């Protein structure tokens, strides 16, 4: 087998090795068609089957009914959805509510404000975005068109443990923890997620939308931005990102084979607990950023006693093939992203490295 680093990148991120191998094996000759999936018409039967399988496998993994929800495969990344959600759902008479738990939700708020009346139901900004709200610390307005939140805050390393209580339609940016645990999709109006953390390569965003909400999209919207039009055309209004969708389909199939999202959740909890326990036992050498009740199982953010030590940590870790551990440029510090495809052996290797690093520098 070829060399593989321990990849803790926040996204694009590690993909399951056997999925990469499968894609490699059929890269130049997809299922005896004599061409790669990237080279054939998106209208061909072969490609249509690929996209349909990806959609159906997603519905099976996340346990929702394709009669009630439409799955859209769109370009433009999750950030495009920051604009498309309010463009499709808000009108002149309605307002939206947002939970602000860090950079990505703040960007979503900024975009929504350009579209319509946007209110912040809760913000963790004063606390340095070190937590997500518990249900008794905010109240959503039943008159709002929707309540939007970010389930996992990739940059600050916080995560909602439960779905927040909402009195209006719930919308979630699930970019950095989708498929990491079972999710009760029936609680949501819209879920969207960029692929490049837990689902596949960058280039496609999955939007799961409750079908009645498709009626909200105005005829005045440009067609490629109109959820109803994209849905009516089976995400083929324009050429879909065929290769990323194919890869997402392979990842979904792989997760089903592993036993589905209950299995992923247990593995993810075990991986994260390994690191959080290390922090707790380090006498303050490793300080987690997130409040205990809000700690993420996907992005573990932490600090060392000084910035110099953090630089040294990153350099020495890289020599041990432990890569992608630098915190986001906006907050500094360190971050281990331990998405679904990061193997437990990589987390074990990181923990061992961290124990040694403390021994030598603590
Ligand atoms: C939670 C979350 N939302 C949105 C984004 C932006 O995604 P994209 O780059 O696909 O627009 C990211 C990227 O890291 C993210 O982590």
Instruction: Give residue 3's pLDDT.
Output: 86
Which of 173, 177, 271, 326 is an active site residue?
173
Residue 244 Cβ contacting ligand 1 at under 6 Å? no
Instruction: Give residue 155's pLDDT.
Output: 96
Q: Which atom of ligand 1 lies at the shortest distance from residue 205's CA?
A: 10
Q: Please give the structure tokens belonging to residue 223.
A: 């067609």
How far does the centroid of ligand 1 lie from the alpha carbon of residue 201, in Å?
Answer: 13
Residues in contact with 157: Cβ distance below 8 Å, sequence separation at least 6, in sequence order: 288, 289, 290, 295, 296, 299, 300, 301, 302, 335
Ligand 1 pocket: which of 194, 202, 204 to mutate (most atoms within 8 A of CB): 194
Q: Is 197 noted as a catalytic residue in this protein?
A: yes
Domains delineated in the chain: 17-258 (3.40.640.10), 260-361 (3.90.1150.10)
Residues in contact with 250: Cβ distance below 8 Å, sequence separation at least 6, in sequence order: 19, 22, 23, 200
Residues in contact with 266: Cβ distance below 8 Å, sequence separation at least 6, in sequence order: none
Q: What is the pLDDT of residues 201-212, one digit of tens each?
A: 999 999 999 999
How far does the centroid of ligand 1 lie from the alpha carbon of residue 352, in Å?
Answer: 30
In the structure, what pLDDT confidence band is assigned to residue 2 with cuts at 50, 70 and 90? confident
Instruction: Give residue 332's pLDDT.
Output: 86
Q: CA–CA separation, 94 vs 201, rounded Å?
A: 36
Determine the 3-state secondary structure of 162 from DSSP.
Answer: coil
Residue 77 Cβ contacting ligand 1 at under 6 Å? yes
Q: What is the pLDDT of residues 28-59, one digit of tens each?
A: 999 999 999 999 999 999 999 999 999 999 99
**Strand pairing category for 117-123 and 95-100:** parallel
Q: What is the pLDDT of residues 283-316, one digit of tens each?
A: 999 999 999 999 999 999 999 999 999 999 999 9
Please count the CA atoms within 13 angstroms of the CA of 85 that sit on its side-chain side. 40
How far does the centroid of ligand 1 lie from the alpha carbon of residue 351, in Å?
Answer: 27
Mean pLDDT of 308-329: 96
Tell me the whole-structure pTM to 2 decimals.
0.98
Residue 234 Cβ contacting ligand 1 at under 6 Å? no
Q: Is the dihedral of CA 289, 354, 340, 75 positive or negative?
A: positive
How far does the centroid of ligand 1 lie from the alpha carbon of residue 36, in Å?
Answer: 29
Q: CA–CA separation, 278 vs 295, rounded Å?
A: 14
- pLDDT > 90 fraction of the chain, expressed in percent and rounded: 97
The total of other beta-carbon atoms located within 10 Å of residue 197's CB is 30
């Amino acid at each position: 087998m070829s060399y593989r680093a321990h990849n803790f990148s926040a996204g694009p991120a590690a993909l399951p090795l056997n999925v990469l191998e499968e894609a490699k094996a059929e890269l130049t000759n997809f299922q005896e068609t004599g061409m790669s999936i990237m080279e054939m018409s998106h209208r061909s039967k072969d490609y249509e089957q690929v996209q349909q399988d990806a959609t159906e496998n997603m519905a099976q993994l996340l346990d929702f009914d394709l009669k009630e929800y439409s799955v859209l495969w769109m370009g433009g990344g999750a950030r495009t959805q920051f604009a498309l959600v309010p463009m499709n759902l808000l009108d002149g008479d309605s307002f939206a509510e947002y939970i602000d738990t860090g950079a990505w939700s703040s960007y979503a708020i900024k975009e929504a404000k350009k579209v319509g009346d946007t209110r912040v139901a809760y913000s963790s900004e004063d606390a340095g975005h070190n937590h997500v709200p518990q249900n008794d610390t905010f109240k959503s307005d039943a008159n709002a068109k929707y309540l939007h939140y970010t389930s996992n805050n990739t940059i600050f390393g916080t995560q909602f443990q439960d779905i927040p209580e909402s009195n209006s339609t719930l919308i979630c940016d699930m970019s950095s923890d989708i498929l990491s645990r079972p999710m009760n999709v029936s609680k949501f109006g819209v879920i969207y997620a960029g692929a490049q953390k837990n689902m596949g390569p960058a280039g496609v965003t999955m939007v799961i939308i409750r079908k009645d909400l498709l009626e909200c999209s105005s005829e005045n919207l440009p067609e490629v931005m109109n959820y109803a039009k994209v849905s009516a055309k089976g995400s083929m209004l324009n050429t879909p990102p065929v290769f990323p969708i194919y890869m997402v389909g392979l990842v979904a199939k792989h997760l089903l084979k592993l036993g589905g999202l209950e299995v992923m959740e247990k593995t993810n909890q075990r991986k994260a607990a390994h690191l959080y326990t290390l922090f707790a036992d380090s006498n303050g050498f490793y300080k987690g950023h997130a409040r205990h009740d809000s700690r993420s199982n996907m992005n573990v953010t932490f600090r060392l006693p000084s910035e110099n030590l953090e630089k040294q940590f990153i350099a020495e870790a890289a020599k041990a093939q432990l890569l992608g551990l630098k915190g986001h440029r906006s907050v500094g510090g360190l971050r281990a992203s331990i998405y679904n495809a990061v193997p437990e052996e990589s987390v074990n290797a990181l923990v061992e490295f961290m124990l040694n690093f403390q021994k030598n520098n603590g």
